[in-house]
Amino acid sequence: MSKDGLLEFEGKILQVLPNQIFKVELENKHIVTCYTGGRLRKNKIRMIMGDSVRVEMTPYDLSKGRITYRL
């Protein structure tokens, strides 16, 4: 269900921050700050350090992303 123009990557959670914000290391060793997407937040899906996740990013700001799926 990806929108046009968004980049999707897989990564691993390195650090858990307050308010459901995470530091995620992508496959290409790039570290980004991510927040949880709507369905994950709505259904109260919990994530911990070491979980594998799918991240959506816009090509305009490659330092932030949205976690859309926990693998």
User: For the domain that residue 14 is a member of, what is the CATH number?
Assistant: 2.40.50.140
Whether residue 28 lies inside any domain: the answer is yes
Whether residue 2 lies inside any domain: the answer is no
**Which structural domain, as residue segments, surrounds residue 48?**
7-70
Closest by CA to 22, choosing from 9, 12, 8, is 12
- The type of residue at 5 is G
pLDDT for 2: 54
Q: What is the dihedral of CA 24, 62, 30, 68, to 10 degrees?
A: 30
Whether residue 1 lies inside any domain: the answer is no
What band does 71 get if pLDDT is binned at 50, 70 and 90? very high
How many domains would you assign to the chain?
1
Asked if pLDDT for residue 1 goes beyond 70, the answer is: no
Q: What share of the chain in percent tops pLDDT 90?
A: 92
Record the pTM: 0.89
